[in-house]
């Protein structure tokens, strides 16, 4: 590299130093209290003398031989050298003598390079950046923990030319092993590039599970090799399908970013789109969901888009097992999400074979049990753990006897009644993933998508629940303050694997994807990684978190993520002034 390049960097460094001190003296904004702007907040930070130093323009990252970690290191090195993030409020740090040797390298050591990206993998890491010396050190038990440390290191670099926090050490690990985001790609289609951007942002937030709700009654966008008619006839069109190559690309991208991709093929309800290819195995398909004048109990679906698989038709299982086989081949993830939520009684009651069973003393719960007993053992025989929505155990009308739901083979995802349903699930001995709609549903508060809704036919300036069944909008504070272990014993708490925020897509597509998710999902990310309380005082740190989240949102935007703002810029530049004292 030419010598004049290094000379220009030295000149830039001196200029930066001058403006660094001038800015500190003349800035019209209140100085930001010394803090570490890393999101999610690390578990343990030691930075007794807040200092920063120049980062070498030839900075390098040395990593052991691991396919995904090496790719991550190369990606982070490029980002660190080119990002030059300008903080909204520069931190109050001492810049080490610019003539000293800049930080030259980050060396990574990993104890176990064979650990797969499965639930429970060790994601801990230790990061040390010395105040004197040219090499930082990152150690981790696994490659996936090293990726988390790389992200933290990247957030400790800012400015142009780049400076890095020094004299600092982090000892970090997550509170929960399952930290996820669910995206529904059936009601509206999301291009692959948008899914990849979402996974990248998840990784930056140390979220590790992309729960892909691929299919539903509205469309079947997944091209299943053994059942091609499902996507050919059930998708919104050939340009709104996910090919096997698309899936491979998404899964591989997830591994490169330390994010598992968990597929969900919801059944036996939410399967109206299957009827385009196989009308004989779907009951009440393509019917009006809630006939005029009928009570809510007589609806045929929870929302427009009717259709449920018929568990009494043998052909159902031929199609279902073909799908399962192909999903297993496409997704290496050990968890298979089978859905099993919101089965509507009247839809099944319209089928003659089910009517016959009911007239002979059978029940709709037995119909569901037939489906579970015909599919659950098959999925587990393929070395998969099955995740179901909580309805399969807790629904008031149609549910499965626990004797058919072995806790060692299944996980239940809770979405209703907050702490109450979480408590019911774990007290029955089941592992759970928490997605309480009252706190974690990102689609709430945007009204309702049905037309001619009488709730809007008012003149009083209020629309009651706003037409949104899970109103109101879930703010980042709502998410941040939710305790998924509330009311649980120590033993029950061990069964809570973690949580997920969920974006159902009735009123979302790629045009609003980023703003619907970020930075609200960042709030979940921190709570599940390091909690929402100061470890020393036990006091909730939502005020301190606000300042860091403003900075983190700004950095996400600079990285190409359209995260929405959480405060006016005035608040950002006057730290603490927009908090309350009560």
In this prediction the pTM is 0.94
Q: How far is CA 276 from CA 57, 178, 387, in A?
A: 58, 35, 26
Catalytic residue among 252, 342, 492, 564: 342
Check residue 542 and give its pLDDT.
Answer: 82
Residue whose tokens read 């999925």: 379
Cis peptide before 218 (omega within 30 of 0): no
Tell me the residue ranges of DSSP E strands in 441-566. 496-503
The CATH code that applies to domain 42-170 is 3.30.379.10
Cβ-contact 52, 164 below 8 angstroms: yes
Check residue 539 and give its pLDDT.
Answer: 86
- Token readout for 310 is 């018929």
Pick the CATH number of 176-449+468-571 from 3.40.50.11540, 3.20.20.80, 3.20.20.70, 3.40.50.2300: 3.20.20.80
Cis peptide before 343 (omega within 30 of 0): no
- Token readout for 483 is 């305790």
Q: For each successive 10 residues of the chain (582 residues), what is the average pLDDT?
A: 46 45 43 75 93 96 97 98 93 82 97 98 98 94 98 97 96 98 98 98 98 98 98 98 98 98 98 98 97 93 97 98 98 98 98 98 98 98 98 97 97 98 98 98 92 72 68 95 97 98 98 98 98 87 90 97 97 87 68
Tell me the residue ranges of DSSP E strands in 328-478. 335-339, 385-389, 410-414, 431-434
Taking the C-alpha atoms of residue 427 and residue 522, their distance in angstroms, rounded to an integer, is 29
Check residue 462 and give its pLDDT.
Answer: 57
CA-wise closest residue to 384 among 334, 330, 329, 333: 334
Check residue 537 and give its pLDDT.
Answer: 85
Check residue 416 and give its pLDDT.
Answer: 97
- Token readout for 214 is 């691929």
Q: Which residues 6+ apart lie within 8 Å of 185 measured at CB?
A: 195, 212, 213, 214, 221, 242, 505
Domain boundary assignment for the chain: 42-170, 176-449+468-571
Cβ-contact 101, 115 below 8 angstroms: no
Q: How far is CA 137 from CA 107, 173, 476, in A?
A: 5, 17, 34
Taking the C-alpha atoms of residue 557 and residue 549, their distance in angstroms, rounded to an integer, is 12
Residue 333 falls in the annotated catalytic set:
no
Taking the C-alpha atoms of residue 528 and residue 498, their distance in angstroms, rounded to an integer, is 7
What's 518's DSSP letter? Answer: T
Q: How far is CA 96 from CA 11, 102, 325, in A?
A: 16, 9, 59
């Amino acid at each position: 590299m030419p010598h004049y390049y290094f000379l220009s960097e030295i000149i830039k460094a001196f200029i930066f130093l001058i403006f660094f001190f001038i800015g500190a003296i003349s800035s019209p904004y209140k100085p930001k209290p010394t803090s570490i702007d890393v999101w999610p907040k690390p578990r343990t930070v030691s930075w007794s003398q807040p200092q920063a130093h120049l980062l070498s323009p030839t900075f390098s990252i040395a990593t052991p031989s691991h396919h995904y970690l090496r790719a991550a290191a190369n990606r982070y090195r490029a980002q660190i050298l080119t990002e030059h993030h300008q903080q909204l409020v520069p931190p109050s740090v001492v810049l080490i003598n610019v003539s000293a040797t800049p930080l030259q390298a980050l060396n990574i050591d990993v104890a176990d390079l064979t650990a797969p990206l499965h639930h429970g993998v060790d994601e801990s890491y230790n990061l040390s950046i010395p105040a004197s010396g040219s090499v930082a050190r990152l150690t981790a038990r696994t490659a996936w923990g090293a990726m988390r440390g790389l992200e933290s290191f990247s957030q400790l670099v800012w400015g142009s030319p780049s400076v890095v926090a020094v004299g600092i050490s982090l000892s970090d690990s997550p509170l929960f092993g399952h930290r996820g985001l669910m995206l529904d790609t059936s009601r509206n289609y999301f291009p692959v590039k948008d899914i990849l951007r979402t996974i990248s942002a998840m990784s930056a937030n140390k979220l590790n599970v992309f729960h892909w709700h691929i299919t539903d009654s509205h469309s079947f966008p997944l091209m299943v090799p053994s059942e091609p008619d499902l996507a050919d006839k059930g998708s919104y069109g050939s340009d709104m399908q996910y090919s096997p190559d698309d899936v491979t690309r998404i899964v591989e991208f997830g591994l490169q970013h330390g994010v598992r991709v968990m597929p969900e093929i919801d059944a036996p309800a939410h399967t109206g789109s299957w009827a385009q290819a196989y009308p004989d195995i779907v009951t009440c398909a393509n019917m009006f969901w809630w006939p005029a004048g009928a009570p809510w109990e007589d609806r045929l679906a929870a929302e427009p888009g009717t259709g449920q698989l018929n568990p009494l038709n043998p052909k159902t299982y031929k199609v279902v097992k073909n799908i399962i086989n192909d999903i297993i081949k496409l997704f290496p993830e050990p968890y298979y999400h089978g859905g099993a939520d919101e089965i509507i009684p009247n839809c099944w009651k319209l089928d003659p074979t089910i009517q016959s069973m009911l007239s002979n003393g059978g029940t709709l719960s037995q119909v569901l049990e037939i489906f579970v007993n015909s599919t659950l053992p098959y999925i587990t025989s393929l070395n998969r753990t099955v995740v179901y929505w909580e309805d399969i155990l807790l629904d008031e009308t149609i549910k499965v006897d626990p004797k058919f739901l072995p806790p060692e083979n299944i996980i239940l995802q809770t979405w209703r009644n907050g702490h109450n349903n979480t408590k019911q699930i774990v007290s029955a001995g089941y592992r759970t993933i928490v997605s309480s709609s009252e706190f974690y549903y990102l689609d709430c508060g945007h009204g309702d998508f049905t037309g001619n809704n009488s709730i809007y036919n008012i003149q009083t300036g209020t629309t009651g629940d706003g037409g949104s069944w899970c109103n109101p909008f879930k703010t980042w504070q709502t998410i941040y303050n939710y305790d998924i272990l509330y009311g649980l014993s120590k033993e029950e708490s061990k069964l809570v694997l973690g949580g997920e925020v969920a974006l159902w897509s009735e009123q979302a597509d790629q045009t609003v994807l980023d703003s619907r998710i970020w930075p609200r999902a960042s709030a979940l990310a921190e709570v599940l990684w390091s909690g929402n309380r100061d470890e020393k005082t036990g006091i909730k740190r939502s005020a301190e978190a606000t300042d860091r989240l403003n900075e983190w949102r700004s950095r996400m935007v600079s990285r190409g993520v359209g995260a929405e703002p959480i405060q006016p810029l005035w608040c950002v530049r006057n730290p603490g002034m927009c908090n309350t004292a009560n």
